A and B are shown apart, each in its own frame.
Chain A
Amino acid sequence: MADASGGVLAAYRALLGAQARAQTAYRTSFVIDVLGNVGSTVFDVLTVLVIFGVTRELGGFTLRETMVVVGLSTCAFAVADLLVGNIERLPRYVRTGLFDAVLVRPLGALPQLLLMDLPLRKVSRAVFGLAVLVVAVGAAGVEWTPARAVLVVLAPLAGVVFFGSVFVATATVSFWWVDSGELANSVTYGGRDFTSYPITVFEGWFRAVFAYGLGFAFVSYHPALALLGRADPLGLPAWVGWTAPGVALVAAVGAAAAWRTGVRHYRSTGS
């Protein structure tokens, strides 16, 4: 048994190594990709700064407070996108029948897909996201307690798990609806945009669906409130911020169930 698991790990390592070598083979292209990828995240953060250029507060939050929300969201999304984001290529694998080849190999389908094209170029985004979080938390004047110190580490990790689950769950739609293409973007990238602002910015049923229906409020908004020691203007108690890991766990279980159902449902394109 020990031998078998060692063999599996070696196989995954080989997949990852092959990817790393392939992606860095064309150095100039790789460097441009790394820079381009960090560029889009930089622009996301710049957008928030530009918006604060024309207003002093957004949804009742100042720039410093909002930046904590942005930091948590950016960091979590960038890391999840690096690790799991490429699952959004699943529709192509399903359509071309390449998924067959993945299924017949004696390794897990999901880890294989993730390692088959782990986008190393996105490392730059993850690093930048972490930097934004560190600077934002540093500038926000957080009154540190042991609980908050734990939260500032746990919350981004929970966010990574949550966004990762969203990536996997939305990708499984393509098992049923191959042409869904952009639809997944509205929840993945839409979720990133939603979590980049205090949810008080949004209103009505739209806020209810994204914040609590889909659970995006627990990625950045509630943890940020807990870190800043601010009461929720919408009236939820302060301890909600610490439930982020639990919500992420629920999301992960849901995504795993969706993935299993999807794979069982998968029918090859044939011929």
Chain B
Amino acid sequence: MGSVTATVAPPTVPNVILWFRTFKAITGSGFRRYATYRQASVAGVVTNAVFGFLRCYVLLATVGAAGSVAGYDRGQLATFVWVGQGLLSVVLLWGGTELADRIRTGDVASDLLRPVHPVTSHLAADLGRAGHAALIRFLPPVLVGPLFFEVYVPRRWSTLPIFVLSAVVAVVLCFGCRFLVNATAYWLQDVRGPMVLWTLASGVLAGLYFPLRFLPEWLQLVLWCGTPFPSLLQTPLDVLVERDPTDVQVGLVGLQLAWAALILAACRLVQRRAERRLVIQGG
């Protein structure tokens, strides 16, 4: 299992097949957990659609007589908005404080007793959630958008696989970021502060409110290379609407991969440090 929790000694021979089976089981339970709340899914889909209309009209109004703005034409902006509304729920920009609550209440103790690394088990559960969201939350806005707006359909065959890869990396990266924000509870107990900062930064800097290409170029460079935020939403969307040629697409996804690796490594490091200092309250 390759566990490095404080409570379990690592086994000498890692069993890869067993590891995959465990991962699959946790992912499946994550999927089923979210499949239970059907009414909440319906409410969420309607809300995504309303905001899709709002954002789409506003962005389309910025397109001048030249027919394009910041390198996007009208169809590309429509695709950007509607796929963005779907992708928002898949990467789950604004997750809850479940892990932080478990740390505060001491429930996290039972997570640490399990023979799976906490980062791995939470990631597996989150992938299950994302899989459910990809079916239930991603498809409706993507299908509704074209009914009311002229959308851009990718023209290069290579775009689709790059987009799928980019979306999966975004899910993993976003999980890592949310894990880090929640893990501050090991030190702070109350995560409201980090949570507020995360909610603020991720909404604007991920490209949800407006495409980041609207910003001055030097600022784009700082955001893409200096922060993980554009890799959460803007990159997969830019890839899908073919804002850039193929080599730039691949480069952007490479940057995303680098961020995902960095953030996941940080998760494991933070978890190890946290276990050294964790005191379970209440005995």
Contact = CB atoms under 8 A, between A and B. Distances in A.
Interface of A is mostly: helix
Given A32-B192, A180-B43, A40 B37 contact: no
B50 A190 contact: yes
Interface of B: 37, 39-40, 43-44, 46-47, 50-51, 53-55, 57-59, 61-64, 69-70, 148, 190, 192-193, 196-197, 199-200, 203-204, 209-210, 214-215
A43 B204 contact: yes
Nearest to A44: B209
A193 B62 contact: no
A124 to B, nearest CB: 12
Contacts of A58: 58, 61-62
A51 B210 contact: yes
Nearest to B208: A47
Contacts of B54: 190, 193-194, 202
A183 B192 CA distance: 24
Nearest to A182: B47
Contact of A206 (B57, B190, B204, B210): B57
A59 B61 contact: yes
A43 B46 CA distance: 24
A187 B199 CA distance: 21
Contacts of B53: 202, 206
B57 A203 contact: yes
A96 B183 CA distance: 28
A43 B203 contact: yes
Given A32-B192, A55-B62, A179-B40, A202 B57 contact: yes
Given A186-B47, A190-B54, A197-B58, A179 B200 contact: no
Contact of B196 (A39, A54, A179): A39
